[in-house]
Chains A and B, each alone.
Chain A
Amino acid sequence: MKTNHVHFTLNGESVEVSIEPWTTLLDYLRYNQKLVGTKKGCDHGQCGACTVLIDGNSVNSCLCLLVSLEGKEITTIEGLGTAENLSTAQQIFIDEDAYQCGYCTPGQICSTIAMRNRGEINSEEDLKDWMSGNLCRCAAYKNITKAARRIYEES
């Protein structure tokens, strides 16, 4: 099978791989790297469960081919902090109970960080719009909004 060569940074570490060109970033993370914190919810870019950070922007990793990421910096939930050393955003999600089942949580957290990185949130509506790419079927939206606002303002 024909493979392509690609080089990128994953959670701070330099990675070089040869891989089939149709491999999505999501499948690469889950199957090849065993970084299963990034979740597959629809595989169609409709739910946001697979959101990761590429150069600080939020991306649906299911819609992103790995071979297109030459030179990029990829950060997944595993790269943000550990249980013993939580990032501010992760701690805020716990404090605000901004989840229930936890399945969409890694994607939600990555989206809040991308929102903070980007700025330009001028109202509650802006914030809710930004966070609407991440579905939460448990519908912890009130607490996710509270957490996202705090992350935007405090971190």
Chain B
Amino acid sequence: MLNIGNKQKRVDGPQKVTGKATYAADIASPFYHAYVLQSTIACGSITAIDTSAAEAFEGVKGIFTHKNLPERLKNKVDYTDPLSPPGKPFRPFYNDKILYNGQPIALVVAQTFEQARYASKLIKVTYEEKKFKGSLSDNLKNASADRAPEPASNRGDFKKAFKNSDYTIIREYRQSRNYHNPMEPHATSVEYKSDGSLVVYDKIQGVASSLKYLNGVFGLGADRVQVKSDFVGGAFGSGLRPQYQLFMATLAALELKHNVQMVMTRAQMFSFGYRPEVIHTMKLGCSKDGILKALSHKTVGETSTFEDFNETIVDWSGLLYKCDNVNLEYELTPVQSYTPLDMRAPGGVSGVYALECAIDELAHEAGIDPLEFRRKNYVDYDQNEDKPFTSKELMACYARCEEVFGWKNRKDLSKTEPHLLKGYGMATGSWEALQQPASVSLSMNEEGTFTIKCATADIGTGTYTVMSQIAADKLGVSIEKIKFMLGDTAFPDSPIEGGSWTVSSVGSAVASVCEKFKYRIADIWKRNNPDYQAVAFEDISFQKGKLEYGSKTFAFTEIMQQASKEELSIAHSESPAAGQNTHSGYAHCCVMVEVTVDKDLGIIKVPRLVNVSAAGKIINPKTAENQLLGSMVWGLGMALREEGMVDTRYGRVMNANFAEYHIAVNADIHDIHTEFVEEKDDKVNPLGAKGVGELGIVGLAAAISNAIFDATGKRLRKLPMLLDDVLEA
């Protein structure tokens, strides 16, 4: 009854296809509705705010601004959350200062959403504006390495090696700002109980983060608030930090002593974190035969004026290929905007975009096939950290991708319509395989059904399903006998769902608690059956809900009955595997793409995308493949569609809606394929599994950029690459 490795259908599928999966805004209690009024300037202060007309409007229950923020929220209050970067976190309504365009400046709470929204428009605000820097490009001269963490140490002598290289390139690559935009807008529903305690349904990637924030800001400990999040309608990083709707709904509920719900509008989904705009400068040199001799990667990224948001960007360039002379630099510059926020494969997707474009350019200079060039510079240990890898089957990914895509004979495939140019590109991708501490509890009832709890999340990744599979496998029971519960601060602690570490962290804890259960049930069995007291645990097996010894079987439920026990409960906390210290853990992939470019119109299409990944043990190929495919589409969107456009005069996002901020749609996706190569890893974590939620986006935009060059002879060196870029280049 092996479950691990099965293409198990999602256990929460029936809820999702019937509309019964309840997201944060789907709670049925009677709520007041909250609507946020946002600043229309980016920098300065509010000189006057008149809420009288709004207060008098039908249905309005309360209005909150900096004028009436309760005093207790001003003194010794901690507004940080577990992922706050260095700096001072944003404090809503704290004073009259405006830090960014779109900043919440008033909250209107009313009987209905329509009343709250309408009343917010009756508020009169006057400002005093100050000059500011609205974009990264405007403010490059204030870029500083002091605000950013130090990258991996430089090694060798870059300058000398670059000078002595046979082929060199110096290139600049630019990425625009991207917004997460999960389909579910951020929402919080707060139930105010008669004893003054709260039940908070929040859109968050880890309920512990919401609880920490509520405790810091409102002094609400776990005894007074329970945070729940059964279903999350996508997040991709947007739920890594509590967003302002949590503050708003909680403030209003406490002050008005009533249930309050706040749901962001789509436009408001552009009023908090984003993947920052960055500019990369790459200098690469290689020998005549294509051996990488020198590499320098400098990145400047945007952050806010109040927090120093940073990513691991340039380190990837010291990691992916063998190179003994490496120079890495990272700087941040503040712009008048909200703080950026980790977004799917943060840092990696940016650093590897620049690196994989540059590698392609250097291979072209040296006249070497881009795949061959990458093989020549393959590295089997981590030069940044001076450690071996837990496993790395990237060579197998290259070989399999080459075969599936038909890389060798790709030019022979190039028959196409006369008005189209066709091109092929590739890239390497990689993502960390980390494990975090996680705790779980397990209990079995008298019917032999197991309930396993953990305060983790399922943001669409398949946590419910994968954890149920692991437990069923380890316990030797059918998956129907497992109930995995998550998203509740009443459950044992979990790391936030991010970094592609949920399977390795929570999954390993689930595997261990099941192992503990087996010892415990065997113990009980031995104690109540004197004949078997001397039996060694190794001689017992567990299948179909039964303990097996020799030819005899004993159902778990019988053993419990015999011991007069109704329920058996076990808790477990798992620490990261020792291999996490001695080795570097990464998943790897190779991606190959085919593009067509319309000669006259510049329209870029991607008829074919192939990814082959090495990510250790794949627990559920069905959900893992879906994750990979999704992240590949994200790579396409980043390459050709997504651009958060800021009017730098006003610091305002100009395209804060789905009609103008383009994400990939069904018709953008044609022949898309992913598969896994076998990768055995006994060091990365007890399951040998690496996360796959972020891997597929890394490198993909570079592969498309490289393919556009192959098709047109033009290097666009910016994201997104649009048809006018093709025509202008």
- Chain A residues engaging chain B, CB cutoff 8 angstroms: 1, 22, 27, 31, 34-44, 46-47, 49, 76-78, 80-83, 86, 90-91, 93-95, 97, 99-106, 109, 125, 128-129, 131-132, 134-145
Contacts and interface: CB of A to CB of B under 8 A. Distances in A.
Nearest to B629: A142
Nearest first, the 6 A-B pairs at minimum CB distance are A37-B19, A101-B460, A103-B233, A102-B16, A100-B460, A139-B633
Interface residues of B, number: 60
B17 A109 contact: yes
Interface stretch (B140-148, B488-496, B664-672): B664-672
A100 B19 contact: no
Contact of B460 (A47, A102, A131, A144): A102
B17 A76 contact: no
Contacts of A101: 182-184, 231-234, 459-460
Contacts, number: 178
A139 B666 CA distance: 8
A47 B660 CA distance: 12
Contacts of A44: 266, 657-659
Contacts of B664: 139, 141
A102 B21 contact: yes
Given A38-B19, A86-B18, A97 B623 contact: yes
Contacts of A41: 183-185, 266, 658
Given A44-B658, A101-B232, A141 B263 contact: no
Contact of B666 (A76, A137, A145): A145
Contact of A142 (B13, B26, B669): B669
User: Taking each of A38, A135, A137, which has the highest tally of chain B beta carbons within 10 Å of its own beta carbon?
Assistant: A137
Interface string B645-675: 0000000000001110001111111001000
Contacts of A100: 234, 460-462, 626-627, 630
23 contacts: A40-B263, A41-B184, A41-B185, A81-B18, A83-B20, A91-B17, A99-B460, A100-B234, A100-B626, A101-B182, A101-B183, A102-B460, A103-B23, A131-B667, A132-B666, A135-B658, A135-B663, A137-B183, A137-B236, A139-B637, A141-B668, A143-B629, A145-B666
A91 to B, nearest CB: 8
B10 interface: yes
Given A40-B25, A49-B183, A142-B672, A137 B20 contact: no
B181 interface: yes
A135 to B, nearest CB: 6
A99 B16 contact: yes
B112 A31 contact: yes
A97 to B, nearest CB: 5
Given A31-B112, A93-B13, A131-B666, 15 more contacts: A36-B26, A36-B28, A41-B183, A41-B184, A42-B266, A42-B658, A43-B266, A86-B18, A101-B460, A106-B19, A128-B666, A132-B665, A132-B666, A139-B629, A141-B629
User: Taking each of A46, A105, A109, which has the highest tally of chain B beta carbons within 10 Å of its own beta carbon?
Assistant: A105
B12 interface: yes
B622 interface: yes
B658 A47 contact: yes
B9 interface: yes
A103 B18 contact: no
Contacts of B630: 100, 138-140
B581 interface: no
Contacts of A39: 23, 183-184, 233
A31 B460 CA distance: 25
A42 B657 contact: yes
B183 A135 contact: yes
Nearest to A133: B665
Nearest to A41: B183
Nearest to B23: A103
A83 B634 contact: no
A135 B17 CA distance: 16
Nearest to B14: A83
Given A102-B12, A103-B23, A47 B626 contact: no
B113 interface: yes
User: Taking each of B19, B114, B632, which has the highest tally of chain A beta carbons within 10 Å of its own beta carbon?
Assistant: B19
Contacts of A1: 58
Contacts of A135: 183, 658, 663, 665
A51 B358 CA distance: 44
B234 A128 contact: no
B265 interface: yes
B40 interface: no
A37 B460 contact: no
Contacts of A36: 19, 22, 25-26, 28
B533 interface: no
A128 to B, nearest CB: 4
B622 A97 contact: yes
Contacts of B15: 83, 102
